[in-house]
Amino acid sequence: MMVKKRPPADKNGLSDFCGSLARHWNFRTSFELFRLNRPPASPPQLLALSAWPSFELYAEKMSFISGDGSYLLRVIENKMSGNLEGHLIHSLPQKYQQVFIELEGLAGEYLTDSHGLVNFGKIELDTSQVRVNLCPPVAIFKFKHLWSCPAVKIYPELISTGWEQTVLDLEYFSATPDQVLKVQIGNIPEGREIARVVLVTNQQETLIAVPQKRLCLFELPAGARDGQFNIYE
């Protein structure tokens, strides 16, 4: 996953920006998953991907489920690499794609890909104590062939209650050595704060920004024209 975070141009906002990168964000809309106590499933059932080779290389470590039963997170071990990997499952793709996963007690944030998969790496988890929280986006904005206009306004297609009026004002700068996109977030519900903005490009590259004063900047990969923005509270 490619992650770029760009500091603000004004010096007054620099210390706040650096602090936001260093601190662990408590997502307001996150919710806890609960440990599912049952015998481990075989990897083909676990991943629902019968075409995957060498299933004996994977072993399920633990599973978690949401209170309403709609989310299931399975944590597996890749015996070849030693990495722990997660598979987030939901009946709707927008519910498992680009979801932040927090493992309490560990620094860092993890973001699922378009298949609901995430690589936790070589981490030590206390299987009896670990707690898991999820934070899906509160609004999703999709776009196509966006850069034909230097400035454009886009509206959300998938939203949570209260975010219906939110809008993104986009300004594209192609004259600089890097392709830079400025994103200004408008009509945020009163008393709410945006924790992260995620841009997923048509090349499936993922860029994460920490908004400052409802503004964030992205350095775009070459050829990025279609994709979507997700915002998180």
pLDDT at 177: 65
Question: Between 38 and 93, where is the model more confident?
Answer: 93
| Percent of the chain predicted with pLDDT > 90 | 31
pLDDT at 28: 81
pLDDT in tens, 74-98: 998 888 888 889 999 999 999 999 9
Q: Indicate left, alpha or beta for 74 from its phi (over 0: left) and psi (-120 to 50: alpha).
A: beta
pLDDT mean over 102-110: 78
Q: Which amino acid is at 101?
A: I
- The radius of gyration computed from the CA coordinates of the chain, to the nearest angstrom, equals 19
- Check whether 51 has a pLDDT greater than 60: no
Residue 31 to residues 28, 104, 226, Cα–Cα distance (Å): 9, 12, 30
Distance CA 180, CA 183 (A): 10
Q: What are phi and psi of 231, to 5 degrees?
A: -120, 145
Residue 125 to residues 85, 104, 121, 131, 132, Cα–Cα distance (Å): 12, 10, 11, 10, 11
pLDDT at 54: 52
pLDDT in tens, 7-29: 444 444 444 433 344 345 568 88
pLDDT in tens, 156-205: 988 888 899 999 999 887 766 667 888 999 999 888 889 999 999 876 78
- Check whether 4 has a pLDDT greater than 70: no
pTM value?
Answer: 0.79
